[in-house]
Structure 1
């Protein structure tokens, strides 16, 4: 190897350690680029540098970076983070190769991402759902999650709880309306999502929305609602940090995370946050299990996600969930990992999607009024419509509005998958265990597949849905590893939107603004500021 030859020659000629260090670095760089430029199936893409790859071109916003790369390199290119190769695709036919097969046995892209030491450090490589590479464990967890959050009984209870918390928020907003206070909508959606997801999952009432209202310090106006989860607010903040840590741990190599000043301290913060969340979840599961064990069999327990998981395959099984030959109760560790997925997947995406949706319907008054007309048609009234699980199937226009918002600006701009064997794209060989990102934002804003993609037009999902290019729009992914929480997420969003259009008129504070966001694994809107007016 070139490096070894140079070092030996230096020792023979002169024992100059400084020269050795410099030439060692130079030889490493030369060797790095020799391997890079002579590698077979090298895709178009930005030139990486040793150790860091393309981190300097990417910066803090991976969404903006991959969009910029697409403009320069097209629908199939590569970039590097450290020495790790990442491939990006932005064409339906390429996306079909990644997402098209629903069978676990037949798909090559069964892995969520390539192997990552950082993912293992977060405890996600062999547990849970999202990044679990143990297919047997992943499949069991996924089926438990889907069955526990998709049953009509669970969804009916979720609608009741969501409606109750929405009504509480709207009472706060009516007070804010009288006080002339602007609604910082994204903050409220984060609080709403927290209250709904945590309370539905554990049965422990969260009070994030009440705390947010009380923080406004309106004279003589305080919410009496109290949360019963001692560390609830800290836990919620920690979940958002945990979600940020996923992409960080996947992209940065252990060497960079553990040795580069600044990055090293971030790495430590994320790992400490991981430990705190795990301890908190283990305590919750342990306490709830003891509570259920001490409850007589003839007394019912609530249909929360946590209770469903604890009672599965026991004598008081609530939903009789069946997972093939799996007939034993879940362990505390298995329940903890699934519960963590509920929070990490449910808190960020649904809340942020609702913020995007509300931004666009505030900009398009005609869309807002059509949503209201649909509510009136389905329920016969705008005064406290009777929301039922069965009625949600009839909310076609509201569903189209949600999809159009996701199309224009997806909360997740790209989703990753990795194959278990080599795959060919346009004559290029993509090695097994290479992360392949599908750029959902580029796909769904391409005029080849969507007429006038810059125009917010929900009708396209009513009139043109059948003619849409397959795999040009993947709001929840597709195939074996599609989003397991889709049904629950849609129920939450429809509940809120029905309540919103029935109760208020809304206006953007800055009517000419364009959506702004912060990238933190998911896209988080930061400028959805609203004037709220009670509907007359």
Structure 2
């Protein structure tokens, strides 16, 4: 008797039982990977998770999460788990384990949670995966070679000089964060969009949606019912986010049209911007559309603002607290680029600011601008005694990895010599402020040159010292690392500094 003949002779109860079994088996097959991952999650240590909402309440407490991260390796070992709603994620801390994941082209897909950024960053290099990411990376990478990047030093210098002009001319205590963020946005306006800081279009740029952008993804993660698009799209937050995305797209299209016209008459000696390179890529590669240009422009503008701004502000704050390293940086600046602020520094001079670069790196170790990253692994990975199945969501916490005591003794101490010329070679996956491997930040060299130029300009003009009563910093977690209450520094014009 065949299966179908048996069904024909079955009673209603038997038929219902058969169909139920088929449905259950089908669901078990579909969710077998998820159940396998959940089973592993229940075996691993991690912060206390609540039914259904998991660790979402912990994530909402931005000050708590920084304290928890700093002690995570001590508390849980090299592999831990967290729950985002009903989705388990596995936190990998050790550089050797991170190397297996970050160095492999089989694990370049981003976590499903990056989809929450599509209405903010678009589908650019940060949020895309698979063929789109690899093809865009290959096309854009040549625009970030060091010879091209060093041509942006004049742009960095102009914006840094504008920052100096806006700072008070007498000794004062101020929150450097806002000043630095505006400077970085000025840099990106010219370097990405081609609008110079001294341009007549400055009023227009003040109204730029890139200056006013707001990311909603963290709010959705801490309110897990909003992870479902069918619910989220009914909210005012979704409407506001879509309106913001439309403003970003419309503004970007306007900038693209402007640069297309300018490119027709651009001479070899004129400054170029990243938009120019992407327009040329699009002209030569029809698959790289105007929508792709917009997504990548949004990625560079929005991701580049907070990350570099935070790094510069934290470095200035730390140099104010550590006078010996500030003095060493200043003498290095005197030696290699001089103190005449009317002259832009040379590329060679910026390259020679090695102690300043070490200070920036140590600042990024302590306060990485992007404190959290996530990947979806493409094949089984062995981490310690556990086998992580393909499809597992991995969380990477630079804030925690940068505090591993067996790699960085006395990890809370600011010690730029960890990155000095005589420092011992370390595992490259132990320092990951810009990620690492094939999916590292495409603009990290750009960022280092930018940060060195801006900080050097500030130190040429001001001596920094701690602001009384504001010497401590309390990091809080958003999309980028911030300091609660800002970063306050006493700034004294160099001409009134008494040696």
Interval containing the TM-score (normalised by the shorter chain): 0.7 to 0.9
The change in CA–CA distance for 1:298 and 1:265 in structure 2 (over 3 A counts) is closer
The change in CA–CA distance for 1:234 and 1:46 in structure 2 (over 3 A counts) is same
User: Do 2:111 and 2:375's aligned partners in 1 also have CA atoms closer than 8 Å?
Assistant: yes
The change in CA–CA distance for 1:287 and 1:164 in structure 2 (over 3 A counts) is closer
2:101 is matched with 98
User: Do 1:118 and 1:253's aligned partners in 2 also have CA atoms closer than 8 Å?
Assistant: no
- CA–CA distance in 2 between the matches of 1:499 and 1:355? 14
- CA–CA distance in 2 between the matches of 1:416 and 1:340? 20
- CA–CA distance in 1 between the matches of 2:251 and 2:340? 42
Other structure's SS at 2:107 match: coil
Post-superposition offset of 1:297: 8.0
Post-superposition offset of 1:303: 0.9
Provide the aligned C-alpha RMSD in A.
3.2
The answer on 1:304 being equivalent to 2:297 is no
1:131 is matched with 127
The answer on 1:168 being equivalent to 2:199 is no
- CA–CA distance in 2 between the matches of 1:262 and 1:128? 22
The change in CA–CA distance for 1:257 and 1:67 in structure 2 (over 3 A counts) is farther
Other structure's SS at 1:108 match: helix
Equivalent residue in structure 2 for 1:522, among 466, 469, 480: 480
Other structure's SS at 2:216 match: helix
Other structure's SS at 1:437 match: strand
User: Do 2:174 and 2:488's aligned partners in 1 also have CA atoms closer than 8 Å?
Assistant: yes
Other structure's SS at 1:39 match: helix
Equivalent residue in structure 1 for 2:143, among 131, 148, 153: 148
2:17 is matched with none
1:78 is matched with 81
2:259 is matched with 288
Once the two structures are superposed, the pairs formed by residues 340-379 of structure 1 within 5 Å of their partners are 340-379=298-337
- Please, which runs of 5 or more residues in structure 2 have no aligned partner? 1-34
User: Do 1:306 and 1:339's aligned partners in 2 also have CA atoms closer than 8 Å?
Assistant: yes
- CA–CA distance in 2 between the matches of 1:245 and 1:144? 30
Once the two structures are superposed, the pairs formed by residues 411-422 of structure 1 within 5 Å of their partners are 411-422=369-380
Equivalent residue in structure 2 for 1:533, among 492, 495, 498: 492
Post-superposition offset of 1:350: 0.6
2:430 is matched with 472
2:179 is matched with 188
User: Do 2:117 and 2:127's aligned partners in 1 also have CA atoms closer than 8 Å?
Assistant: yes
Equivalent residue in structure 2 for 1:427, among 377, 381, 385: 385
Other structure's SS at 1:77 match: strand
User: Do 1:258 and 1:264's aligned partners in 2 also have CA atoms closer than 8 Å?
Assistant: no
The answer on 1:230 being equivalent to 2:228 is no
Q: Which stretch has the larger CA shift, 403-412 or 268-277?
A: 268-277
Once the two structures are superposed, residues 420-460 of structure 1 have per-residue CA deviations (whole angstroms, 9 ceiling, x without a partner) of 12222223232323321222122222221112222211122
1:48 is matched with 49
- CA–CA distance in 2 between the matches of 1:206 and 1:257? 41
User: Do 1:356 and 1:405's aligned partners in 2 also have CA atoms closer than 8 Å?
Assistant: yes
2:399 is matched with 441
- CA–CA distance in 1 between the matches of 2:362 and 2:450? 17
- CA–CA distance in 1 between the matches of 2:160 and 2:115? 41
Post-superposition offset of 1:122: 5.2
Other structure's SS at 1:197 match: helix
The change in CA–CA distance for 1:38 and 1:121 in structure 2 (over 3 A counts) is closer
The change in CA–CA distance for 1:453 and 1:65 in structure 2 (over 3 A counts) is closer
- CA–CA distance in 2 between the matches of 1:137 and 1:485? 18
TM-score (norm 1): 0.76
Post-superposition offset of 1:387: 0.9
1:177 is matched with 169
- CA–CA distance in 2 between the matches of 1:185 and 1:418? 37
User: Do 1:354 and 1:493's aligned partners in 2 also have CA atoms closer than 8 Å?
Assistant: yes
The change in CA–CA distance for 1:274 and 1:249 in structure 2 (over 3 A counts) is farther
2:106 is matched with 108
User: Do 1:152 and 1:389's aligned partners in 2 also have CA atoms closer than 8 Å?
Assistant: no
Once the two structures are superposed, residues 483-515 of structure 1 have per-residue CA deviations (whole angstroms, 9 ceiling, x without a partner) of 100111111111112212222111222366211
Post-superposition offset of 1:79: 0.8
User: Do 2:114 and 2:127's aligned partners in 1 also have CA atoms closer than 8 Å?
Assistant: no
Post-superposition offset of 1:274: 2.3
The change in CA–CA distance for 1:494 and 1:282 in structure 2 (over 3 A counts) is same
Once the two structures are superposed, residues 190-226 of structure 1 have per-residue CA deviations (whole angstroms, 9 ceiling, x without a partner) of 100111111221122458xxxxxxxxxxxxxxxxx85
User: Do 1:189 and 1:351's aligned partners in 2 also have CA atoms closer than 8 Å?
Assistant: yes
TM-score (norm 2): 0.82
What is the aligned length?
457
User: Do 2:337 and 2:346's aligned partners in 1 also have CA atoms closer than 8 Å?
Assistant: no
The change in CA–CA distance for 1:258 and 1:112 in structure 2 (over 3 A counts) is closer
The change in CA–CA distance for 1:66 and 1:258 in structure 2 (over 3 A counts) is farther
